[in-house]
Amino acid sequence: MSHTLAEKILQAHTDEEISGAGQIVNCRLSLVLANDITAPLAIKSFKAMGAAGVFDRDKVALVCDHFTPNKDIASAEQVKVVREFAREAGVTHYYEGGNVGVEHALLPELGLVGPGDVVIGADSHTCTYGGLGAFATGMGSTDIAGGMALGETWFKVPPTIRVAFEGKLEPFVGAKDLILRLIGRIGVSGALYRALEFCGSVIDDLSIEGRMTMANMAIEAGGKVGLFPADEKTLAYCRAAGRTGDKPLKADAGAVYEQDLTLSISGMSPQVACPHLPENVRGVDELGDLVVDQAVIGSCTNGRIEDLRVAASILKGRKVAKGVRCIVLPATPKIWRQAMDEGLFSIFMDAGAVVGPPTCGPCLGGHMGILAGGERCISTTNRNFRGRMGSLESEVYLASPAVAAASAVTGVITNPAKL
């Protein structure tokens, strides 16, 4: 039968014949992932089930990226648990310190994920790898423990919503704006346990980094996965990351979709998700003069080199407004060094921004940018729930690197075209 992209990937990892959405199938796993917050819980469950060892030490990744460099004693103890388990189990892919990066940017650049893979992670934004054509999804720590021990897990085959983006992108409009537009359209539960399969002329032209930005926020629409076909652009990215043997991947002609959506983005302005839900999306010019106290540029959504270049193009020759804290967090050590070598750090620092290490940091209210009561932040991160970045009385507005940088300069949420 003809398969959607989600069905096609799962079919390659199971011995059962997939006949359509809703079917329960057991699938072999390509990679199992956890971080310094979620891994200790998974490790506790792993030991409680009496597992003799991980199913494949090369197919488990433990990335200490959320509270590191360790911000306090509690986070240091969590990382210690993960470090000691990685050593005992002989886990090949353990990252902290100078080799750690934000997990969903780090693993793709290391070539650990790619087209046709099935990946589970104890982090909801594991869906990022769908930008490379992988069926990648977040799970609870107990499920991750089972995955680490067995190398397989079960899925309910998700129905698929196919989303086509057509038209022409305006200046300063990019991948973040596309996914915010979609979430604003269908809501935070509009794709609940669905696969979002992206297509259209705009998607064909999008960079791999842009595709990962969009896949990253599939979960903000409730999606199980966000999937892009693997084309020659994908394969080139994977080859550069050291992968071999990847092949093009796309849905079959005649595949059955639960819904087809087409979004025309011609003339669309940069999009902003207002508090306190990612679905509360408006065009940037609709917001008026909303004063910001902080701008954050980074995270697994928008901390890649392409994002930093956009931010630097806005900040070059300008100054961050008085009273605004602009924090730039490159997502991995490789991106950090590349940004430094390209002179982007000089631009950021001349503008008055703070450049930090690769870390999730303020995205989850961890550290390096916590908001006080009454403060407002414009951020390139992926969630703006109440209290997400600090005080319950603070506000987070989600936007692209261009909007975040422009807003840092003016001190109010700003369309970069106005600069």
Question: Which among 230, 262, 294 is the end of a domain?
Answer: 262
Report mean pLDDT in 10-residue bins for the chain, 419 residues: 96 96 97 97 96 96 92 94 97 96 97 98 97 97 96 97 96 97 96 97 96 98 97 97 95 96 95 96 94 97 98 98 97 97 98 96 90 97 94 97 98 96
Tell me, letter by letter, the H, E, C secondary structure of 52-72: CCCCCCCCEEEECCCCCCCCC
Residues 20 and 155 in one domain: yes
Residues 258 and 284 in one domain: no
The 8-class DSSP code of residue 20 comes to S
How many whole angstroms separate alpha carbon 375 and alpha carbon 94? 36
Closest by CA to 381, choosing from 230, 289, 262, 278, is 278
Burial of 179 (0-12, 13-18, 19+ CB in 10 A): buried
Q: Which single residue is written with the structure tokens 């309910």?
A: 156
Assign 25 to helix, strand or coil: strand
pLDDT of residue 68: 80
Q: Say what the alpha-carbon torsion angle 327, 33, 333, 371 is, to the nearest 10 degrees.
A: 10
How many whole angstroms separate alpha carbon 252 and alpha carbon 192? 23
Report residue 168 as tokens: 């022409």
**Gap between the terminal Cα atoms of the chain:** 53
pLDDT of residue 56: 98
Residues 254 and 312 in one domain: no
In a domain, residue 267? The reply is no
> Number of folded domains in the chain?
2
pLDDT of residue 69: 86
Residues 115 and 231 in one domain: yes
Helix then strand then coil, in percent of the chain rounded to 5, is 35, 20, 45
Question: Which among 229, 262, 295 is the end of a domain?
Answer: 262
pLDDT of residue 1: 83
Q: Which single residue is written with the structure tokens 């902080």?
A: 294
pLDDT of residue 208: 97
pLDDT of residue 121: 97
Residues 246 and 353 in one domain: no
pTM for the complete prediction?
0.95
pLDDT of residue 293: 98
pLDDT of residue 33: 98
Angle made by CA atoms 217, 393, 399, in degrees to the nearest 5: 30
80 CB-near residues (< 8 Å, 6+ apart)? none
The 8-class DSSP code of residue 252 comes to P
Angle made by CA atoms 233, 228, 164, in degrees to the nearest 5: 110
Kindly write down the DSSP assignment for every residue of 195-244, as one continuous string.
EEEEESHHHHHS-HHHHHHHHHTGGGGT-SEEE--B-HHHHHHHHHTT--
Report residue 297 as tokens: 């540029």
Question: Which among 242, 262, 282 is the end of a domain?
Answer: 262
Residues 273 and 398: beta-carbon distance below 8 Å: yes
The 8-class DSSP code of residue 21 comes to T
CATH number at residue 296: 3.30.499.10
Residues 154 and 279 in one domain: no
323 CB-near residues (< 8 Å, 6+ apart)? 293, 411
CA 179 to each of CA 146, 154, 167, 173, 401: distance values in angstroms, whole numbers, following the listed order: 32, 28, 15, 11, 14
pLDDT of residue 288: 87
Could you tell me the residue range of the domain that residue 351 belongs to? 273-418
